[in-house]
Structure 1
């Protein structure tokens, strides 16, 4: 219960407050003193145990370092020492009490000798000059001429250890030269164990900070990270170069404050209670009486306000209130109800007056509902129409309830609302709903028509893709074959023009198809594990010859914290980069292009790739629609540089599909910068090495029986030329029906199957071949159809591989070689 402020100022409460304050002050002072004494004693205990650990660790480190310095001195005088001599000295240095697990001699920064050699062979030959993890530390020892203690670090042969690196110099004076490094390794776990850091009987918790001897600037490398934030006892562990910081606290953390004797606390509480409670209760009784009086006055004011609000609400809402004496049929109407019924007479009203206003069609039902409620003694709700003297029809909603008055007579009290406007609005809403339903039907019809048009568009694109790619296959293929011939300079220039123009046309076709598939949601993102740096470097190297031709520089900068392996769609990422870097090279005539790859500090798989150039730049007005389809900066640029204006549109959509986006980060006259953001993921399969791609020898195709099912004469000729001089036995079928018959007769090893052929298409032909009781061949789809659905249809029909026209000679030979080698391996395993 809330204590009134005025009551606190009464004299009756002053002694209670004074006594209470004194008791609380005495208890607080006692607790504080006890806690201070307890904390000082506890910190002294922690300091004593921590000092023992510090002394033990410091002494061991100094002793081991002195032993290694002796070995350094011997190496300075015997620089041509062999492994046997090194082993002998290692046994003398390390002995049985040393904490050093092994030592390594590193002349010219290459590990050449190790003691003990057993178990450490993996480290032999490690070149610090080529090792990113070791190079910086090795150069630091060489340049400073001082011993450097690093760690803990991960060893090549496994495990975590501290590495002491000692520079070794030979000669003196002007002949003094740097020979190499002597590394001594102290296993971290063994070091902690020997000096009691992991002792279960240890009464304290310890943490170490200062990785690589950097003191407070170094990272924590041992113990619970929360120890340094828990007001610990700290000690410095000096090293020959640098130091470590040790922090300690009691095991389990600082204990709770030591309690005073509970009997004394109990006495204090009882004494305070005997003083405070009686006086407080007397004050509360007086305060309660005043509260009751104040509450009654407040409720009177509230009732007055509520009554006034009710009058105002009834008047504003135009609700008519009526009351009926069911025995005498005497009726009372308020002024609002008289206004609703347009009743001018101020005299008493009979029940029949209300009946006379009822619409003839609603009279019987309205009277029945009223009388049923009055006899049953319940409530009712009714809606009916009334006819005013002027002939106006109004809609009324009536609600009432029966109750017994103080004399025991049954009365009814209720309200009438004029809902004419609501009824009219409801009727209009029904009409609007009907209209909306009709419009929805129209929209459904329009949607069906649009979907039909979209299917027609997709079919048109598929047909156009097939029809264009078929001759493009012949043009590009024959041009590639012609490039292998001995041509003059002028003829080779003509051929290069044909190839460049054909590739440009093919890129336009691919861009339009990619945009169509993206809009239809059919372009899937296919994530795999891949090497991030190889992917970016591949895109850059693809454009580097063009940049070199224009006299432009091209640089790539990778952040140090980038992951080696990531999980995502490397093909789509490369496609985006080729578009961005290609645009930068295209629109830059002087200067160059810089590519910078970074990642988020919290999430290394959240990548940001910036592509900056010194080209023609992008103005603010041009930047508004730079990502729109078929849009370039202006018409003059389109005429000067060409292109469809789809590259940035496709790249932007692909980036969003990969969890990021592309933004124009700077618009200026001298150049531009595009920032690509993508969200990749941790690789699914753990990989410590780089992916190696092996080129197979086409000699594996010699003697292979191959059937080419292709209705286009040019494409047949092109494949013949591609496969000539390889020792392949090639047969040709001009349609699907002929392909099935020749397959049954000749039983080829590989079939190159076109999808669209007369009499029987490639899909049906494949199904029939798979149903034959013969040794099944490898079937490769070689088609101009470019949609993902076409690839899925080919694989579902039973084909083993999918190649898209126009096809390069190298791609075809590599694919056939891979399939033939794989087939031979399977046959060898089954045999």
Structure 2
């Protein structure tokens, strides 16, 4: 027996038994995979069961609390209908409304916050006369309810009569419009234990363990008030219970916790073991038979070698193939070479005597030859199929060469392989050329990344001083100036904005070329968007004496969904060009839509300007291109506006086409595909005046390393009684925030010692109790910068250069709604 086992392991060392090893490997992988899949399926089924139980309990809780709130609303309606209601009448109404709601312990009516009626009366009559205006324990909560005008759910709290409960306070207002006044409140106490029992939380056969969080409806931040806090440490199913005001968080796990392994693991392993035996044993026996057959074939081959070399057919074939430029290899059914031509010797360095009797792989394969390709060649030959592949081989001297090989099995009358013809060609030079092209591609991609980084750095470096130039010019324009001084200031402002537009155009083009510019579709008023774009050019058109009109076709949708900012950018470019290149006459804008699709828009911009020839039209959309050099000298511009506009139009599933007649004008047609509105709010109107009351008297921390920018923002806020605290780096900003507890932080992204993103992450750490809104001030203009600000915990995003209106809009916006990340675009 021991000798047989030893023979077994010696045999497995033979390559003939490779399928056995492969079978062992595959069975092992299948074993592990099946167990893993079984574990996943069991986990998913169990989580689905827990999720179903959680959903049922959540619906019960939400239904009970919603019904109780509706009950109070009904009592409020009855109370408002009969404001002189007596205690007896109230008992009847409340008894009828409450019905069998055992969870409601009492209901109190408190006009002017003084309790005058209660239900049930006998159990709660001691509460009559309670004045919440003088009750220190509850006065603050009642005042918050009155001032907010919203229903308030508090608790759970310990009740005087014992146990715990939830208090629903409902503010009641009388009158309408200007006569509307606070009348009082209706309060109800709900027995927590009764509510839990009604929702099924206290059921003894409940298959799950539950933890409820969110005191006073504050969600997961309110702490656990029912169940075991440790449930949150065991990967629970979590869902929100939506209350009439606020939420609770419901977490659940199976009773006893999640099982470590499925219950059917033993049965699965027995099945897999049986399947593995049925696969491996037959495979081993087949390999053993193959080894015996191979040994017999080798013995016969040695006796027939001399006869095979003298075959007349091979001699004739050798004569024909000897002068071929490609290498030709003839192999037998066992893939051993019995003839090669001189081209094979020239290509590989092996003589005929060295090659005959060897397999091609034994001579030519090496460490870097692809094993998958070797297996594929063997499989195709064993099936008697042709194969064309490239493979890495080695010459006799050890030099690597790439060989393009064609293998053609020749079959006899019985379909058995008689010989294999291999025709091979050295393609090393072609592969080297391909590798060089790949290196060149990598270098080009690196150059593109370098260009993007350069543009980002240049944007930052240029926008920072531009912020000071434009800002100071705006402040200077608001002072009393002589006529010449006013002209100089306007020249500075105009030139700065022209330079900023060039920078923005280059950045837009770069983002579009790299695929990093994405559209932000919103619902917006189509006519308002177009009018806003055209109104920007009306003063210029009026100064030149041009008629600028907008006509709308019938059937246009009022509200559409698209990127209104990019649409406005395209229209400003097209209408601006029309006004620029028209000396007299008119510019007409026509808005049309397709008859079959009202959201397929066409906007024509037609002028009576200089027009273009067909040769000029050919290049009009090329970057940095204008009609000719004289146009550039006469009218200026970078030649990027139309390039960017057309790329944007194509991103909006459209295009821009043009028709022009030299000397008589041009017509640019913008085609875009909008979508039906979703009913979601769009962008905030930048022309709307900011709510300065939100900013007035605030304590603001400004973190900015540039002295000019600090001076500029100080001037912008000088008339709002703002307590401005200044920091020159991120580390100083973190320290000043902890010390001064500001209402708002203006944070530059790029600062020495510590940047703004790092400083924001430190301020947003959970151990810091004071969390003011933070608005980013950045000279970077890429979308990734906005995403980085959001990830760090900022609430607003302002791109430099920043004017006063944009700054005040951004500050007021985050002070009013700090949870809504917003950006005010500059330039």
Q: Please say which structure displays the higher CA radius of gyration.
A: 1
* TM-score, normalisation: structure 1: 0.49
* TM-score, normalisation: structure 2: 0.49
